[in-house]
């Protein structure tokens, strides 16, 4: 049976949810789960919960726990990455330093200075992981859940790793839209494509009926004509997908009550709805976060992911999830276990994956990371060639891939200037800060996070270690 290595298994709740997904497939219950983390205490918390779950259901699953990455990787068929390099300490710097310059990132893990520096901290670990995989499990598929998704997968592909990146935004947003329209989800037919956190619903139908006209009408009424009673006052259900609930503390895919004004405005301007919540989407474009009044207008209920993470009750939430999984082993909306099951059994599955753009979307940069439907079976992950996006949608995506490309080049070369270039090209950063402020901010981030950035020489030395 398959060996599945989970790197970063001490993370908050999600590694246990992933194990529950894997064990919900009867064909995978004989697998070996190799749980690895650099923090022995956090690793043991997850491992103890997994062992208890396996014992409760009397499964033949073999559970290994180790702080030795090479031991976890040896002979692995699948490598699942769930780590966050630097943890909360580094994350706090990612958001607090830019806020001192007037740049407020509600999440700060995908684009902008927060996303760039989170990626740069991860790059040395990804590079070491790629080297170890080439030696110890050269045929393994790397399933990446670590943000920033697009930068990380683009970089891993450049290192020669067979990689697919997975997110939950397509699943959660498609469900939210079906709810808004009162259409049973199983009757919806949709196609989404673009980049992670900014893929576009190119088609949204029920049978032969195009649902876009009524979608535009409904979302405008519920978000552009704001409900004075506040978010949720219209009684609409919230999407509480397992990963978003576990990782985010509360769903941000609410859909109504003015909370989706950002995405509704984007749809009105560019013609298509996209896949990431309005809170997060507001970070990727220059229109919504210019000052506090504008932020409050577009996002009436503030949501701050750093504060959510800092307030996590890790032991309590792990126990709650374990109790649910003891009651029923049922898959969540996440795609990781479905990929492993399809590849192992040959039972085909379609997932939305983040993969290298090799002719899949011709009006996005060659080699960039794109998110689109992928068929999975014994042949592995097979991306769908979607064709060109509507030109305005591709143009919006390219404002983000510009940042991603320069960050990846920085990680490959060790060139500090490319880090400055990446942050300077970020749409929100450019809308708020001068060139001088951006350079000073980036240098401050370099100084504060130097311990996690071995690839970069101190400013002014002209030395590039990579």
Residues with Cβ within 8 Å of residue 445, at least 6 apart in sequence: 93, 94, 97, 98, 113, 117
Residue 168 annotated among the catalytic residues of the structure: yes
CA distance 107 to 366: 28
Residues with Cβ within 8 Å of residue 352, at least 6 apart in sequence: 167, 170, 171, 192, 199, 335, 371, 372, 373, 374
Residues with Cβ within 8 Å of residue 379, at least 6 apart in sequence: none
Is residue 53 a contact partner of residue 22, using CB atoms and an 8 Å limit?
A: no
Q: Determine the straight-line distance between the first and last CA of the chain, rounded to whole angstroms.
A: 38
- Sole residue written with tokens 């309005």: 278
What are the backbone dihedrals phi and psi of residue 349, each rounded to the nearest 5 degrees, phi first?
-145, 150
Number of neighbouring beta carbons within 10 Å of residue 310:
11
CA distance 36 to 46: 10
Q: Show the tokens assigned to 432.
A: 């708020």
Is residue 27 a contact partner of residue 345, using CB atoms and an 8 Å limit?
A: yes
The sign of the CA dihedral 331, 238, 305, 409 is positive
Residues with Cβ within 8 Å of residue 136, at least 6 apart in sequence: 70, 73, 74, 75, 76
- Sole residue written with tokens 């490598």: 79
* Catalytic residue (one of 168, 280, 420, 421): 168
* Residue 102 burial class via C-beta count within 10 angstroms: exposed 0-12, middle 13-18, buried 19 and up: middle
Tally of CA atoms within 13 A in the half-sphere of 389 that contains its CB? 31
CA distance 435 to 455: 24
What are the backbone dihedrals phi and psi of residue 385, each rounded to the nearest 5 degrees, phi first?
-80, 105
Q: Would you give the DSSP letter of residue 358?
A: S
CA distance 136 to 155: 20
Active site residues: 168
């Amino acid at each position: 049976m398959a060996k599945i290595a989970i790197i970063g298994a001490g993370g908050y709740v999600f590694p246990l949810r992933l194990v529950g997904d894997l064990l919900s497939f009867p064909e995978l219950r004989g697998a070996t789960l190799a749980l690895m983390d650099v923090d022995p205490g956090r690793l043991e918390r997850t491992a103890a919960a997994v062992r208890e779950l396996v014992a409760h259901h009397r499964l033949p699953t073999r559970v290994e726990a180790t702080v030795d990455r090479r031991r976890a990787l040896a002979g692995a068929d699948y490598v699942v990455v769930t780590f966050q390099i630097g943890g909360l300490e580094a994350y706090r710097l990612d958001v607090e330093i830019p806020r001192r310059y007037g740049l407020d990132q509600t999440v700060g893990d995908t684009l902008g200075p927060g996303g760039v520096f989170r990626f740069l901290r991860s790059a040395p670990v990804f590079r070491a992981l790629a080297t170890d995989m080439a030696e110890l499990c050269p045929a393994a598929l790397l399933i990446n859940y670590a943000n920033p998704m697009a930068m990380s997968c683009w970089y891993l592909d450049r290192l020669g790793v067979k990689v697919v990146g997975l997110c939950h935004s397509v699943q959660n947003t498609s469900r939210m839209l079906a709810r808004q329209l009162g259409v049973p989800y199983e009757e919806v037919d949709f196609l989404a494509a673009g980049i992670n956190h900014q893929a576009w619903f190119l088609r949204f139908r029920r049978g032969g009926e195009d649902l876009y006209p009524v979608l535009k009408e409904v979302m405008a009424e519920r978000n552009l004509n704001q409900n004075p009673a506040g978010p949720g006052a219209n009684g609409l259900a919230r999407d509480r997908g397992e990963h978003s609930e576990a990782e985010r503390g509360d769903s941000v895919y609410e859909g109504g009550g003015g909370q989706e004004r950002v995405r509704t405005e984007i749809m009105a301007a560019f013609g298509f709805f996209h896949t990431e919540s309005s809170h997060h989407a507001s970070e990727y474009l220059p229109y919504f976060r210019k000052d506090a009044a504008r932020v409050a207008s577009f996002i009436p209920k503030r949501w701050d992911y750093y504060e959510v993470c800092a307030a996590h009750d890790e032991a309590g939430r792990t126990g709650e999830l374990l109790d649910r999984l003891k009651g029923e082993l049922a898959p969540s909306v996440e795609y990781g276990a479905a990929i492993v099951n399809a590849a192992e059994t040959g039972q085909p599955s379609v997932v939305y994956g983040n993969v290298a753009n090799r002719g899949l979307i011709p009006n996005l940069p060659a080699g960039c990371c794109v998110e689109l439907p992928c068929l999975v079976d014994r042949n592995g992950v097979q991306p769908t060639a979607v064709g060109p996006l509507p030109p305005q949608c591709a143009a919006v995506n390219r404002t983000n891939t510009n940042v991603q490309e320069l960050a990846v080049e920085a990680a490959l070369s060790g060139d500090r200037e490319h880090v400055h270039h990446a942050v300077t090209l970020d749409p929100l950063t450019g809308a708020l800060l001068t060139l001088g402020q951006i350079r000073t901010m980036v240098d401050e981030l370099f100084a504060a996070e130097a311990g996690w950035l071995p690839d970069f020489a101190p400013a002014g030395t002209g030395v590039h270690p990579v």
